[in-house]
Amino acid sequence: MMMLTRRQREVYEFIRAYVAREGVAPSYDEIRRHFGFRSLNSVQKHLRRLAEKGVIQSPWRNQKRALALVDWERSGTVELPLLGPVAAGRPLEVVEQPGTVEVPQAMLHHGEHYALEVEGQSMVDDGILDGDLLIVKRQETADDGQTVVALVDGEATVKRFYRTGAGVELRPANAALSPIVVTEGEFSIRGVVVGLIRNYGASHYTS
């Protein structure tokens, strides 16, 4: 299983034990009360991270018990093209590399996907760190707040996407950095981030 933080693993193990005991997933409020979180927002944050790492499904639906655990061994893996690297900081040219990366099938949505390696620290507040692999769904549009891979002046960057009255802001998740402000004609979206893999030592890559 992909590496989880201590708290993420605790939440995951609680959900797994609850499902084994009760036959259904715990509600958001049951998770909140078990861990002493002050609000449901804290629960949602942890569940989003678990979903990004491919160990649970359906964390954002409104049903009370919509969580589902992912069986990685049964779900299988898929090889994606590895493009490298994308800047979580200043824009950086994306160059194709002769390699692939294996990811769990459960992490993918419908459509075409690829992987990018992150360089920089501008998305750290969203849990995207230098050296992480991003799983990206190829598409040319995005909704406000989605994390996108955007091409600006021929160079790629990963940022949160927001429309404004003057055009578009590509916002970092780092209070020390400023957003990139562009008009609709000055950039293009190359995909939306749908997952993240963190490498703690062993290489993910094949050639």
* Active-site amino acid positions: 122, 159
Cite the DSSP H helix spans in the chain.
Answer: 6-22, 28-35, 40-52, 72-75
**Residue 62 CB: number of other CB atoms within 10 A?**
5
Cβ-proximal residues to 206 (8 Å cutoff; 6+ apart), any chain: 79, 99, 100, 101, 102
Cβ-proximal residues to 141 (8 Å cutoff; 6+ apart), any chain: 189
> CA dihedral defined by 92, 97, 102, 104, rounded to 10 degrees?
30
Q: In this structure, are residues 190 and 138 in contact, taking their beta carbons and an 8 Å threshold?
A: yes
How many residues does the structure list for the chain?
A: 207
Write out the two tokens for 25: 């997933």
> Which residues are bridge partners to 206 per DSSP?
100
